[in-house]
Amino acid sequence: ASVHSCITVGGTYNGRQVYSIISGSQYLLSDAISGGGKIEFDVPVIDGQIRFDIFLPNAVSPKEKGESEDARKLSLQLLNASFTYVN
């Protein structure tokens, strides 16, 4: 069994953003997005649960770019996420 996951991205900070989605030691998806769109992937169900991590290696803060004192690392503007069980 797995869970189909759909994440809606409203935009990206600093242009094209690379992402990797990993569940345990399994790479589920590696890609890039620029602007808005959807990121879709399936996560295996293990012991009745799903777990995944999203890695955003190009995240950068406005402070690092000299734009402001905001030191938060920014990458994707996440609008929503949906999860659908697939048997």
In one-letter notation, the amino acid at residue 74 is L
Q: How far apart are CA 57 and CA 50, in angstroms?
A: 23
Distance separating the N- and C-terminal Cα atoms of the chain? 5
Q: Are 57 and 21 in contact (CB under 8 A)?
A: no
For residue 32, the number of C-alpha atoms closer than 13 Å in the C-beta half-sphere is: 10
pLDDT-derived band at 23, boundaries 50, 70, 90: very high
| Residues 29-49, mean pLDDT to the nearest whole number | 97
- Is a pLDDT exceeding 90 seen at residue 77? yes
Q: Is the pLDDT of residue 87 over 90?
A: no
- Pairing state of beta strands 17-23 and 26-33? antiparallel
Distance CA 20, CA 62 (A): 22
